[in-house]
Structures are given as structure tokens and as C-alpha cells.
């Protein structure tokens, strides 16, 4: 993969700069390389440069790549399902992934919990919130988050870790949607939920996300290059 060294170095520099600017500890931020549409060879190339976490959106595509990518990388990688999740895909997702960022309704959470193999640790999950209130976007409404999180936290096959969002850009104040997400997480914690993860920030807005407390950045284009 040409340009991979430069792109990954640039992403790491952006994260380091944002951490310095906003007083964040770089060790508290996990980089999830979003590898959708890119082949196993590209994933292995990024893994060879020290990235352990990969995000995929489409189950079939991911299933076809995971084994090859790990064989090429010569180690286990951590897989994050970040796409829209259909109930009939929950069994496969629960058995092959380590994290799911896109839990937005109870039925999906129940399915994931039921189908998480007992031989594996609990599936790490995030509740996706439609923080910008977009009609076209997945995610539960912010007002529903507390109820959904309480129920999900009690499911035996899952370990609820926090929230995920894909905010709509707000040019006038890029940090605003991320701030709302952080404040929602703080309210949930205040209400007794034990949450430590905020999955927010992509190639174009990672600085705003770091400024507002993101602990997982989902970066695709800035690492792998443009998607076709």
C-alpha cells in the first residue's frame, strides 16, 4: 500500500497534537482503523505498523477478510462492528467481533447477548446515539439512551462500555455535537452506569472529538486513502 506510512504518521501526529492542545492523555485514546472496502492485505499493512483495532461496516465483507488479515498479520486483531446491524446478522457478529458500536435498540442487544459464545468474554458494546437528530441516521434518540443503556447493561453476554455517535458537521461550532455526546455520557454515569468509552471522531473531525473527550476514534480515509 503506497502512502500508508505517511498517512498513518499524519493521523498519529494529528491525535498527538489534539491531545497536547486539549490536555488529553494519548494513552486514553484508541485508534480504530476503519477498513471497509479495503482488502485484507491493506489491513495487514496497517497492523504491521502497530494498529490492533479495525472497524468494519458490512458483515459479509468482514467475514471474508478477518481470517486472511490475521493470517497475514500473524496475530489476532480486535474487530469492531460499526455498521448498521440487522437482527439476522447478530449471531455472526456476536461470534466474530470483539466490539459492537452500533447497538441502537433492545432487540439487537438481546440477540447479541443470546448468541455471544460462552467460550468468549462478553461482547463489548456501545449504544449508538443519533446525537444530531437526523431522520436518516441510525441511533437511539438521546432521551432514550438512559433506558436502553440500563437494559443493555443487565444482559449477560454483553458488557456495555459507553456511547457512539456520527454527528452531523456543525461548521459554526464543530465541537458542539461532540459536547452534547460527552454531556450525555456524563449524565448516564451520574445515573449510576459504569461507562468509560466515547466512540466519536472520524477522518474529518477527530480534533473536535478529542477536544470533547472521545476515547475511540474511527478513522478510515485518513489511514487507507479514499474509498471507491
Ligand X SMILES: *Cc1c(COP(=O)(O)O)cnc(C)c1O
**Interface residue list for ligand X (CB under 6 A):** 34, 36, 57, 82, 166, 202-204, 218-222
Whose Cβ is closer to ligand X: residue 147's or residue 169's? Answer: 169
* Cβ-contact 105, 140 below 8 angstroms: yes
- Shortest approach of ligand X to residue 22 CB, angstroms? 20
Paired strand residues for 34: 55
Q: Smaller CB distance to ligand X: residue 47 or 166?
A: 166
> Please, which residue, 86 or 194, has the CB nearer to ligand X?
86
CB atoms within 10 A of CB 192: 9
User: CB nearest ligand X: which residue?
Assistant: 220
Three-class SS state of 67? helix
CB-nearer residue toward ligand X: 95 or 221: 221
Instruction: Return the ∠ at Cα 40 (arms to 36 and 45), rounded to 5°.
Output: 100
Q: Least separation, in Å, of the C-beta of 118 and ligand X?
A: 29
Shortest gap between Cβ of 156 and ligand X (angstroms)?
A: 27
Report the nearest approach of ligand X to the CB of residue 206 (Å): 8
d(CA 1, CA 212): 33
Q: Which is nearer to ligand X, 56 or 182 (CB)?
A: 56
We find the least distance from the C-beta atom of residue 191 to ligand X, in angstroms, to be 26
User: What residue spans of the chain are helical by DSSP H?
Assistant: 4-22, 40-47, 59-73, 90-96, 106-115, 145-153, 176-190, 206-211, 221-224
Amino acid at each position: 500500500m503506497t502512502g500508508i506510512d505517511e498517512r498513518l504518521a499524519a493521523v498519529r501526529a494529528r491525535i498527538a497534537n489534539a491531545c497536547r492542545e486539549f490536555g488529553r492523555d494519548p494513552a486514553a485514546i484508541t485508534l480504530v482503523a476503519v477498513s471497509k472496502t479495503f482488502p485484507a492485505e491493506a489491513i495487514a499493512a496497517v497492523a504491521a505498523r502497530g494498529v490492533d483495532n479495525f472497524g468494519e461496516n458490512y458483515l459479509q465483507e468482514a467475514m471474508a477478510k478477518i481470517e486472511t488479515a490475521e493470517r497475514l498479520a500473524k496475530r489476532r486483531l480486535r474487530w469492531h462492528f460499526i455498521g448498521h446491524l440487522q437482527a439476522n446478522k447478530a449471531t455472526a457478529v456476536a461470534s466474530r467481533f470483539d466490539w459492537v458500536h452500533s447497538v441502537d435498540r433492545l432487540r439487537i442487544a438481546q440477540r447479541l447477548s443470546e448468541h455471544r459464545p460462552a467460550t468468549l468474554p462478553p461482547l463489548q458494546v456501545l449504544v449508538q446515539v443519533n446525537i444530531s437528530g437526523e431522520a436518516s441516521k441510525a441511533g437511539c434518540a438521546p432521551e432514550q439512551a438512559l433506558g436502553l443503556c440500563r437494559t443493555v447493561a443487565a444482559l449477560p453476554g454483553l458488557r456495555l462500555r459507553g456511547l457512539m455517535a456520527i454527528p452531523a458537521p456543525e461548521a459554526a461550532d464543530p465541537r458542539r455535537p461532540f459536547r452534547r455526546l460527552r454531556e450525555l455520557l456524563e449524565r448516564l454515569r451520574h445515573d449510576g452506569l459504569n461507562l468509560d468509552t466515547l466512540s466519536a471522531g472520524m477522518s474529518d473531525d477527530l480534533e473536535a472529538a478529542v477536544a470533547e473527550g472521545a476515547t475511540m476514534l474511527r478513522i478510515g480515509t485518513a489511514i487507507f486513502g479514499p474509498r471507491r
